[in-house]
């Protein structure tokens, strides 16, 4: 359904009343008409959606500035409203990295949502556009800016929903019929936070590769770099990549199809130490290298994840197909780095290259000292103490690990997430851990929450196995038409250029090769579903 065109005069600050948000004071509202807006939006940056091309659209950009009195904060909510052909729905777009929204990646997604006929909205969470928390984390050395952290973690997300819905109602003279959230990574964490704490905010949430379990995932992101410093070992990229390729080669056929993807992680086991002493040709340098014990050790501890010195589990590592030295995802921040990234000089001396996630958050939120550096950690036990301190202090604020989604269920909400099994930034096992806990707490969880594992997919996009661009469409069909997403379609090209059409099954279901299939590139002939307990 498409609604009538809105007169140009409606896009004026004087025509739009200030929204009302309990606990907030509106400082200002601006309205700017944008005409003849055109843009090509790639699915590689418009997560959950297919690519789309916009031609000559007109929209009204309404930006609301507000504060929470007594907290010395300033937050912006920006909403784009189509002047014609509005589909009657609102779509909020998430942030990425340490940015709440209102930056390049979010604006790309907002353009895509606008092209689909939605009102699109974003918030900066009051922390601005810095890709690192350095500018806002501390009020002063030793003192965390807790108001800013709370805004970033949760408060601004609910405010955004209230403000955007109010602006929609004022602008069109009617409320949005349905409201949705769409995001990946930080945007995924935000989506789950909304489902957990503000179940009335949105009817449907698409929250891919979620950066929830923030209390564990963030310090875990520094584990490999810390251990390389402690051990004094910084393996070159070629050796680590060779170990990754060997793991993929060993586990690829276990699902019945050799297609360059690890699809059955439960069956996958690989010992990197079996490669020690082997000589391989490094294509990036043209030189032969010998796989060292140090390389096997670093790869192994990255796969197994953080541990105390006695071996006690702290958190999950990334999976075997994750590029430990960097992802090919077309990202704007740390996704092009891997946990085991290094850089080497011409004389062969290598140093670690951290992602900047765990290291920065330990500095500002645990040590609370802008002069501290992760290289000062001298043992696995000291690392474990910092890890646990972060969990204890911040899990309840920004952790987003609360798995009881019964309130979201009770208001009729629907939630879909996907996560790539080659994600080198956020461990996929953290997402399956969350879903397992959600199933224990809410046995009917599959009636309103579906999770899809994506073989070969890197962080949000990229990798080798394609991405599920029909996710958001499936969410809308579920919310509005009751069509349960039993599968998601996906396609990819292998290194030889052969296209594969596949389907993804909702976790914990798995897809298996039909024994008499003659064409493994076709979804219809390739897979049947085996639900596992």
Distance CA 291, CA 239 (A): 6
Distance CA 533, CA 266 (A): 13
Nearest to 42 by CA among 462, 497, 333: 462
Beta carbons within 8 Å of 450's beta carbon, 6+ residues apart: 415, 416, 417, 485, 506, 507
Q: What is the 3-state secondary structure (H, E, C) of 206-235?
A: EEECCCCCHHHHHHHCCHHHHHHHHHCCCC
With beta carbons less than 8 A apart as the criterion, state whether 398 and 259 touch: no
Active site residue 170: no
Catalytic residue of the set 49, 68, 419, 459: 459
Beta carbons within 8 Å of 407's beta carbon, 6+ residues apart: 199
Largest CA distance in the chain: 73
Active site residue 392: no
In Å, how far are 113, 301, 474 from 92, measured between CA atoms? 9, 38, 17
Q: What are phi and psi of 436, to 5 degrees?
A: -60, -45
Active site residue 252: no
As beta bridge partners, residue 420 has 454
Instruction: Please say whether the dihedral angle defined by the alpha carbons of residues 454, 456, 458 and 460, taken in this order, is positive or negative.
Output: negative
Nearest to 263 by CA among 276, 280, 248: 248
SS3 state at 29: strand
As beta bridge partners, residue 123 has 77
Beta carbons within 8 Å of 267's beta carbon, 6+ residues apart: 251, 254, 255
Catalytic residue of the set 156, 185, 222, 341: 185
- Going through 42-189 in order, the beta strands assigned E by DSSP cover 52-67, 75-82, 89-93, 119-123, 138-140, 143-144, 178-184
SS3 state at 281: strand
Distance CA 365, CA 152 (A): 14
With beta carbons less than 8 A apart as the criterion, state whether 123 and 101 touch: yes
Where is 256: in which H helix or E strand? none
Nearest to 208 by CA among 43, 370, 343: 43
Q: Which residues are catalytic?
A: 185, 423, 459
């Amino acid at each position: 359904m498409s609604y009538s065109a809105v007169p140009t005069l409606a896009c004026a600050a004087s025509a739009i009343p200030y929204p009302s948000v309990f606990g907030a004071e509106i400082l200002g509202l601006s309205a700017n008409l944008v005409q003849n807006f055109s843009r090509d939006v790639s699915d590689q940056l418009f997560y959950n959606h297919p690519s789309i091309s916009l031609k000559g659209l007109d929209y009204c950009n309404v930006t609301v500035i507000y504060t929470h009195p007594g907290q010395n904060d300033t937050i912006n909510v920006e909403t784009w409203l189509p002047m014609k052909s509005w589909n009657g729905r609102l779509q909020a777009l998430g942030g990425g990295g340490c940015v709440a929204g209102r930056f390049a990646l979010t604006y790309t997604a907002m353009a895509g949502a606008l092209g689909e006929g939605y009102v699109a909205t974003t918030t900066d969470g009051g922390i601005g556009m810095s890709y690192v928390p350095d500018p806002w984390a501390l009020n002063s050395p030793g003192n965390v800016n807790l108001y800013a952290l709370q805004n970033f973690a949760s408060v601004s997300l609910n405010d955004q929903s209230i403000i955007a819905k109010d602006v929609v109602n004022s602008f069109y003279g009617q409320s949005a019929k349905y409201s949705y959230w769409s995001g990946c990574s930080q945007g995924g964490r935000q989506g789950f936070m909304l489902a957990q704490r503000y179940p009335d905010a949105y009817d449907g949430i698409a929250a891919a590769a979620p950066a929830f379990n923030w209390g564990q995932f963030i310090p875990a992101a520094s584990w490999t770099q810390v251990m390389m410093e402690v051990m004094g070992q910084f393996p070159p990229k070629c050796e680590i990549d060779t170990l990754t390729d060997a793991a993929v080669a060993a586990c690829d056929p276990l699902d019945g199809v050799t297609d360059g993807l690890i699809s059955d992680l439960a069956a996958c086991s690989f010992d990197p130490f079996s490669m020690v002493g082997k000589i391989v040709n490094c294509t990036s340098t043209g030189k032969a290298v010998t796989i060292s014990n140090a390389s096997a050790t670093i790869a192994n501890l990255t796969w197994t994840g953080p541990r105390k010195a006695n071996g006690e589990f702290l958190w999950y590592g990334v999976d075997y197909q994750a590029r430990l030295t960097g992802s090919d995802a077309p990202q704007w921040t740390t996704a092009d780095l891997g946990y085991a990234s290094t850089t080497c000089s011409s004389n062969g001396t290598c140093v670690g290259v951290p992602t900047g996630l765990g290291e920065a958050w330990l500095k500002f939120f645990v040590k609370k000292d802008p002069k501290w550096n992760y290289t000062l950690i001298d043992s696995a036990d000291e690392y474990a103490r910092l890890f646990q301190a972060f969990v204890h202090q911040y899990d309840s604020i920004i952790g987003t690990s609360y798995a009881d989604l019964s309130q979201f269920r009770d208001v009729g909400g629907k939630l879909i997430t996907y996560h790539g099994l080659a994600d080198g930034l956020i461990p996929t096992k953290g997402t399956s851990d969350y879903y397992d806990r959600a199933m224990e707490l809410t046995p009917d969880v599959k009636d309103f929450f579906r999770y899809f594992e994506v073989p070969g997919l890197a962080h949000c996009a990229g990798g080798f196995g394609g991405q599920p661009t029909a996710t958001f469409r499936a969410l809308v069909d579920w919310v509005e038409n009751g069509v349960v997403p039993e599968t998601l379609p996906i396609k990819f090209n292998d290194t030889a250029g052969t296209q594969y059409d596949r389907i993804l099954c909702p976790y914990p279901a798995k897809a298996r090769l039909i024994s008499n299939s003659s064409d493994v590139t076709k979804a219809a002939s390739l897979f049947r579903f085996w639900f596992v307990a």
